Chain A
């Protein structure tokens, strides 16, 4: 309490000190100064030995935690602060530099952090995100699915789909073939609805919306050589619906965005474009897993309903051939398509193997 009033250069015992600058917090003037600690008292003195600020207890002063080699400040209650780049000197006088800084300056811990962070991010992206998305998707009410599906359907009808050019008889025939399967799922609580649409851009295709609306393009119906092939496709799409793949995809996409934002912080402009490339690749990986899940359901149901699994194989091969060659050249002339990691649907061969072996039994 009393030592504060002492002069800056205490005769006799030499106080410990660090060099730096003092700013009084009232004006932007810099005062070259020394911070002295003597007998538990802290004093800031200018070069002429005049007292600039003081505090009679080290413990009551706030010191900014150490951060690399950046200068750090000692804050005095009156609003003034003493700043010094001499971090070691300040630590010696006023105590430790903080746990986080200690971790940051240990190369061993930094290396461990790199490995651990990489592993955790990898694990989270590969295992955590899909698991969380699955949990979230199945805990959300059906109204969400209805809403998502309605919006997607409206958008598709507006942009890519035209009314079907199939004759009413043909549509009736296919619907009739689908009826038992659809009825079976209705009893399990799934409201499924099949739509036929024309589409120049999509060619032969079928897709499922989260709401349970399943769309077959005209070309798809024409591509099939019998109704069992269409049934196989229908079961695959039903797999997407019952596993809530659409919703899970949306949730996974947004979680990845959050992860990327957390990791990168706010990297400006172009660099943040760079991080959207891995997101796209990961999305492809996720969709492949969804395809496998949908395939598994299709195979299970086909076996249960006594539909030959070979039907799935034949239509998928025809589809693949048509996609790869634009439906014009013969199969031998066109390439083998995209490598596995770049394609949404896993390489057909690998995908069809379970169906083939099931058919062989």
Chain B
């Protein structure tokens, strides 16, 4: 059987920014920066051996789409024809079969010992080879850049301001499109397809509702109470509309997502359960969260294929119990520390100061830490439970890196007086992509588009106004 090798020449297609291509390539392969620079700046070559014709072509196309110049060379069976550029022997570990079974960082076996040689061995990982019947861990790749998004953000912000807000739906669509189109799975990006006009209509309706509420509130507290109750009663319905809008306008490989969760179930998850939680003094929170997440992720579809939320309420109970224990523990620790410090202090005047200031400094830090802990653990818990047919998601947010990201964003946004908001958004999206994987159980070519259904246009437009950030 003929095998092929894929050669990356280190050149960049016309119209692509070299630095950008380099960073995309680094993300795809996990190759260290120095090696990537070597490849793109000093005329060295990178070669991957032992690919089938189809695999090699797929990888070539995926790379070419990202502006990376590469070509295929036919190898004679079992051995490699050394050409003018390569002098390195084949590294036995790099077969396409092994690639698919190991984690990305380790899967790009590198011949570091042969650093002096001209060839760098690495796998083109993002487009790793499909293996039927075997699992494959596909990374989500986020290729958005802060500089590029900053230009989009500031121009659209200005347009929104000078049009007194009427341009806002267009700005929002552009921003969403940027983040979707910059997110890649297996060489294909996501698309955001919402029509700005639909969103504008939704906003006008929402504005009308808010106006109604404000007027009712001004003239009569009883009427405003009625309106508030009405809004509360409508909230699950609006949420369903928003979910449908968001899902329908998301596509991957020209197959749209959809949301099929029922209105009645939405009322149970988002009205009944919160009420039960209140009645139970918060004890039922874990169960409520579980019910809500289950409702969401059991409702999504990709084409004809349904998503599942594959877990029970157990892990949620454990997580919240752990949180509660940590909260109590931190409280006890702080009180003890305060006591010890006030006992040890001999200076009578400084005594109450220590006792007062210490909890004031420590408590917000504890809250922040616990919030971060809950967010990270719950995100992992939820996304690890999401399944699409036999495929799964995998999420590995980590407490330290997530806190680092958030604190960096906070400092950046504050110190730049808001100018670094786009940068913070890009960093957040990149973090999310880097810490989420798609565990593909087979190839991704077999999803089938759903039948077009008639839908109430206005309903979804209203939903668009309440469109929340619900990530898929």
Q: Tell me the A residues contacting B by CB distance below 8 Å.
A: 19-21, 23-30, 32, 47, 64, 67-73, 79-81, 83-89, 100, 103-105, 109-110, 113-114, 116-117, 120-121, 124, 140-141, 143-144, 147, 262-271, 273-275, 277-278
Contacts and interface: CB of A to CB of B under 8 A. Distances in A.
29 contacts: A21-B188, A24-B254, A27-B446, A27-B449, A28-B444, A64-B177, A64-B191, A67-B152, A68-B178, A69-B20, A70-B177, A71-B181, A83-B188, A100-B156, A104-B152, A110-B150, A110-B151, A113-B154, A114-B154, A116-B158, A121-B161, A264-B418, A265-B172, A267-B413, A267-B421, A268-B428, A271-B406, A273-B410, A274-B413
Nearest to A103: B155
B157 interface: yes
Given A70-B182, A265-B175, A267-B424, A23 B155 contact: no
Nearest to A72: B181
A271 B422 CA distance: 11
Contact of A274 (B170, B254, B410): B410
Given A28-B445, A88-B15, A70 B254 contact: no
Nearest to A87: B15
A127 B56 CA distance: 63
B410 A117 contact: no
Given A23-B254, A27-B449, A100-B174, A105 B161 contact: no
B399 to A, nearest CB: 14
Interface in B214-228: 218-219, 221
Contacts of A269: 375, 406
The 9 closest A-B pairs by CB, nearest first: A23-B254, A70-B181, A28-B447, A29-B445, A88-B15, A28-B253, A270-B406, A113-B158, A68-B148
A145 to B, nearest CB: 10
B295 to A, nearest CB: 22
A184 B170 CA distance: 55
A274 B413 CA distance: 7
A72 B254 CA distance: 12
Contacts of A140: 218
Nearest to B415: A274
Nearest to B305: A28
Interface in B448-472: 448-449, 469
Interface stretch (B34-42, B60-68, B238-246): B60-68
Contact of A27 (B149, B181, B445, B469): B445
A278 B158 CA distance: 20
B457 to A, nearest CB: 19
Given A30-B187, A104-B155, A147-B221, A268 B469 contact: yes
Contacts of B148: 68-69
Given A104-B151, A144-B218, A71 B418 contact: no
Interface in B418-437: 418-419, 421, 424-425, 428
Contact of A32 (B61, B159, B178): B61
A99 B151 CA distance: 14
Contacts of A104: 151-152, 155-156
A32, A67, A72, A114 — most chain B CB neighbours (10 Å): A67
A269 B402 CA distance: 12
A267 B66 CA distance: 28
Interface in B336-381: 375
B273 to A, nearest CB: 23
B155 A28 contact: no
B93 to A, nearest CB: 29
The main secondary structure of chain B at its interface with chain A is: helix
Contact of B421 (A30, A85, A144, A264): A264
A295 to B, nearest CB: 30
Which of B156, B254, B444 gathers most chain A CB within 10 Å? B254
B253 A23 contact: yes
Nearest to B412: A271
A102 B181 CA distance: 19
B14 to A, nearest CB: 8
A84 B161 CA distance: 32
A27 B444 CA distance: 10
Contacts of B177: 64, 67, 70
Interface string B53-86: 0000100010011110000000000000000000
A26 B66 contact: no
Nearest to B256: A25
A131 to B, nearest CB: 15
B410 A25 contact: no
Contacts of A87: 15
Given A25-B255, A100-B170, 12 more contacts: A21-B61, A23-B253, A28-B253, A28-B254, A28-B446, A68-B148, A87-B15, A114-B419, A120-B158, A120-B161, A143-B219, A267-B413
A265 B175 CA distance: 10
Nearest to B13: A86
A275 B15 contact: no
B409 A270 contact: yes
A103 B159 CA distance: 11
B421 A271 contact: yes
Given A27-B447, A30-B187, A275 B413 contact: yes
B250 interface: no
Interface string B240-271: 00000000000011110000000000000000
A73 B191 contact: yes
Contacts of A265: 172, 175, 421, 425
B397 interface: no
Interface in B13-36: 13-17, 20
A27 B64 CA distance: 23
A70 B178 contact: yes
B326 interface: no
A262 B13 CA distance: 38
B157 A263 contact: yes
Interface string B181-225: 110000111010000000000000000000000000011010000
A283 B444 CA distance: 54
Nearest to B180: A70
A23 B447 CA distance: 12
B150 to A, nearest CB: 8
A90 B17 CA distance: 17
A117 B157 contact: yes
Contacts of A84: 65
A87 B417 CA distance: 33
A26 B448 contact: yes
A83 B311 CA distance: 37
B160 interface: yes
Contacts of B188: 21, 30, 83
A105 B148 CA distance: 9
Nearest to B424: A271
Contacts of B252: 28
B283 interface: no
Contacts of A121: 161
A83 B190 CA distance: 11
Contacts of B151: 68, 104-105, 110
A124 B152 CA distance: 22
Contact of A117 (B61, B145, B158): B158
B413 A25 contact: no
A275 B418 contact: yes
A269 to B, nearest CB: 6
